[in-house]
Amino acid sequence: MHVVRGYKAELDLNNEQRTACLKHAGVTRFAYNWGLARSTFKKKSKGIGSFRLTGSIHVFPDAVQLPRLGRLRIYEHGFIPTNAKILSATVSEQAGRWFVSIQVEEEQEKPAPTTTMAVGVDLGIKTLATCSDGMSFENPRALKHAQKRLKRLERQKSRRKKGSKNRAKTCRKLAKQHARIANIRKDAAHKLTSYLCKNHAMIAIEDLHVAGMLKNHCLAQAVSDSNFGEIRRQLEYKSNWHGVHLTVIDRFSPSSQTCSCCKWKDEGLTLSDRVFVCLDCGYVADRDYNAAKNIRNVAVSSIDTQNACGQKSAGLFNGASETVLVEAGTNQRYGLSINV
Ligand SMILES: [Zn+2]
């Protein structure tokens, strides 16, 4: 199957090349603003922006050759494939660093998951993700940790005279901090989603109402620091790449309150209760781990009921069993009527 992918690498520019890139971005901004003359303009102070190039683009292990800009070195050697069909190149700036993103079309084998595991994932604020297979991923809380530095820089900026060089210097420092926060968040999300997609045949997550959570003033900062939207976006495209079945379960499913062993419900469970104790069967587990197992169970049983094949499907994903059978020699999982 054809897959369009973007490979982004940082450029190692000399002064002349940096000026050329700035000019290109300036011209693009001018053209954009000319078209938008009646509404909001793209301000240079909001970032230098980016520009997209098509035409004669070549990739070398240590450089890219772009129309009019010539050969530009990149920091990460051998990352961008040199023999793929190149569609376009986008050059962008972020907090003083320049990047090139090469969009290529690749031929990819129809993916077949290498494992048979089904996993449920409970996303949270303290622990970014708790998986039903026992793995958990810490939340780096990048914004929270940078808060002190950000406030100091914001104060410094407000003291500097508008239009002065010192104010511009502080603005650059602030932009760098914000870029760093974004990078830490993205890194955590990539590590989590890659682990999930490379090691499982099926992933179940909850359909979190992120926009609603952001409206809650007390939750907003922690939620945006957790990057739930980005995690969902990455899971959607990576599950496609790896041939993994992604199931999103209803957000009103009582995953935290239900016992993952016997389905008993603890109606009185509050957010501060970190341990789930079942008063029926005596099961005791970390609250998030219990929720992750429930998420997996709900997804698995919904597939079991959807399954058209019938035979051998019942119970395969169920209960404490982590595994899903794969029919030998094929990619067809019993109990899954999926098209990958
Ligand atoms: Zn129980």
Token digits for 73? 């070195």
CA torsion through residues 82, 84, 85, 90, sign: negative
CA of 297 to the centre of ligand 1 (A): 14
12 assigned to active site: no
CA torsion through residues 28, 31, 34, 37, sign: negative
Backbone φ and ψ for 191, nearest 5 degrees, come out as -60, -45
| Per-residue pLDDT tens listing for the chain (340 residues) | 788 889 999 999 999 999 999 999 999 888 888 877 766 866 666 677 889 999 999 999 999 999 999 999 999 998 899 988 999 999 999 888 999 999 999 887 777 767 778 999 999 888 999 999 999 999 999 999 999 999 999 999 999 999 999 999 999 999 999 999 999 999 999 999 999 999 999 999 998 888 888 888 888 888 888 889 899 999 999 998 888 999 999 888 888 899 999 999 988 888 888 899 999 999 999 999 999 999 999 998 887 776 655 444 433 443 333 333 333 233 333 333 222 2
Token digits for 94? 């972020």
CA of 281 to the centre of ligand 1 (A): 4
CB 315 within 8 A of CB 299: no
Q: Tell me, what DSSP letter sits at residue 244?
A: P
CB 300 within 8 A of CB 293: no
Token digits for 284? 């005791």
Distance CA 187, CA 139 (A): 11
What are the respective helix, strand and coil percentages of the chain, to the nearest 5?
40, 25, 40
Distance CA 99, CA 185 (A): 18
Catalytic residue among 133, 225, 266, 288: 288
CA of 286 to the centre of ligand 1 (A): 13
Nearest of 127, 88, 107 to residue 1 by alpha carbon: 107
Distance CA 109, CA 88 (A): 23
- Angstrom distances, CA of residue 171 to CA of 26, 46, 147, 149: 19, 10, 16, 13
CA of 121 to the centre of ligand 1 (A): 20
pLDDT tens digit string along 226-251?
889 899 999 999 998 888 999 999 88
Token digits for 253? 């499913």
- Angstrom distances, CA of residue 307 to CA of 111, 295, 312, 314, 336: 21, 18, 10, 9, 6
280 assigned to active site: no
Torsion of CA 297, 300, 304, 305, to 10 degrees: 70
206 assigned to active site: yes
CA of 261 to the centre of ligand 1 (A): 5
CA of 283 to the centre of ligand 1 (A): 5
Distance CA 52, CA 336 (A): 42
CB 53 within 8 A of CB 89: yes
Token digits for 178? 């914000």
Catalytic residue among 122, 133, 225, 266: 122
Helix (H) or strand (E) segment spanning residue 316: none
CA of 263 to the centre of ligand 1 (A): 6
Catalytic residue among 93, 206, 225, 266: 206
Token digits for 278? 């079942």
Give the side-chain half-sphere CA count within 13 A for 197.
22
CA of 310 to the centre of ligand 1 (A): 29
CB 104 within 8 A of CB 85: yes
